[in-house]
C-alpha cells in the first residue's frame, strides 16, 4: 500500500491479487447496507464500466453519497469492452451493464490471471461460469466479511434479511436457506 501526494491511499497491483469487476446490483445493495467499502478491502483493484456508473449514480437514492465517494476514491471506470462479444451477450437477454461488465472482465483476464466478476443476476452468472471466470455477488461479499471476522454471523444474517425483506434483492429460497444455515453454525 502506498500514499500518493494527492491524499489517496492506493494498492500496488501484484500478480496474484484478484481484480474485482463489479456490476450495478452489488454496488447498489452493498451501498444500501453500508458495506460498499468491503469491495475495496477484498479487491485491491475494483473496476466497473461507464454504463454501470450511470445506472447507479442516482442522487435521490440513499446510497448515492457512498457510491459517489467510491467512484472518486477507489472504484475505477473502464470502457475497454469487447464489442463483438457484446452483441452475442445482448442477444442472450442480458442488460447492457451486465454485457459490458462481462466483456470488461474478459479483457482484464487477458492481462491478469486473477479476475473476479461481482454480479448478482442469475443469467449473467451462468454466462460468467460458462466463460470459466471466477465470480461472487452481494451475498458472497457478505459471507466473506463474516468469514474474515469483519461482520459477525449475526450481523451478516441481519444484513441478508434486510436485503430480502426491505429491498428488491432476489435470492432463491434454497440459496437463502443454505446461507442462513451456514451462518447459524
Domains of the chain in sequence order: 13-140 (3.40.50.1010)
The predicted model gives 72-76 an average pLDDT of 97
State the cell numbers at 64: 448515492
* Band (10; pLDDT cuts 50, 70, 90): very low
- What is the model's pLDDT at position 15? 56
Which residues contact residue 103 at a Cβ distance below 8 angstroms, ignoring those fewer than 6 apart?
81, 82, 83, 85, 86, 89
What pLDDT digit, counting tens, does each position of 27-69 carry?
999 999 999 999 999 999 999 999 999 999 999 999 999 999 9
Phi and psi at residue 10, to the nearest 5°:
-140, 160
Q: How many CB atoms lie within 10 A of CB 9?
A: 11
- What is the model's pLDDT at position 81? 77
What pLDDT digit, counting tens, does each position of 94-152 carry?
999 999 999 999 999 988 889 999 999 999 999 999 999 999 999 999 999 999 999 99
State the cell numbers at 55: 445506472
- What is the model's pLDDT at position 173? 95
- What is the model's pLDDT at position 111? 87
State the cell numbers at 42: 477484498
What pLDDT digit, counting tens, does each position of 108-123 carry?
998 888 999 999 999 9
| C-alpha radius of gyration, the chain, whole number | 16
Distance, CA of 47 to CA of 74 (rounded, Å): 9
Which residues contact residue 3 at a Cβ distance below 8 angstroms, ignoring those fewer than 6 apart?
9
> Is residue 119 classed as helix, strand or coil in its secondary structure?
coil
**Would the pLDDT of 8 be above 60?**
no
Distance, CA of 53 to CA of 43 (rounded, Å): 18
**In the 8-state DSSP scheme, what is residue 117?**
E
Amino acid at each position: 500500500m502506498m500514499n500518493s501526494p494527492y491524499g489517496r491511499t492506493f494498492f500496488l497491483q501484484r500478480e496474484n491479487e484478484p481484480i474485482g469487476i463489479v456490476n450495478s446490483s452489488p454496488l447498489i445493495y452493498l451501498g444500501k447496507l453500508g458495506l460498499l467499502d468491503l469491495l475495496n478491502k477484498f479487491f485491491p483493484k475494483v473496476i466497473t464500466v461507464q454504463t454501470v456508473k450511470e445506472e447507479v449514480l442516482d442522487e435521490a437514492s440513499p446510497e448515492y453519497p457512498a457510491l459517489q465517494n467510491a467512484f472518486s476514491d477507489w472504484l475505477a471506470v473502464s470502457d475497454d469492452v469487447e464489442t463483438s462479444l457484446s452483441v452475442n451477450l445482448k442477444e442472450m437477454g442480458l442488460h447492457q451493464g451486465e454485457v459490458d461488465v462481462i466483456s470488461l472482465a474478459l479483457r482484464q483476464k487477458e492481462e491478469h490471471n486473477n479476475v473476479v466478476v461481482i454480479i448478482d443476476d442469475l443469467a449473467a452468472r451462468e454466462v460468467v461460469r460458462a466463460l470459466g471466470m471466477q465470480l461472487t455477488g452481494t451475498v458472497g461479499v457478505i459471507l466473506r466479511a463474516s468469514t474474515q471476522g469483519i461482520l459477525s454471523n449475526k450481523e451478516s444474517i441481519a444484513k441478508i434479511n434486510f436485503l430480502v425483506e426491505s429491498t428488491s434483492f432476489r435470492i432463491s429460497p434454497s440459496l437463502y436457506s443454505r446461507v442462513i444455515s451456514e451462518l447459524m453454525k
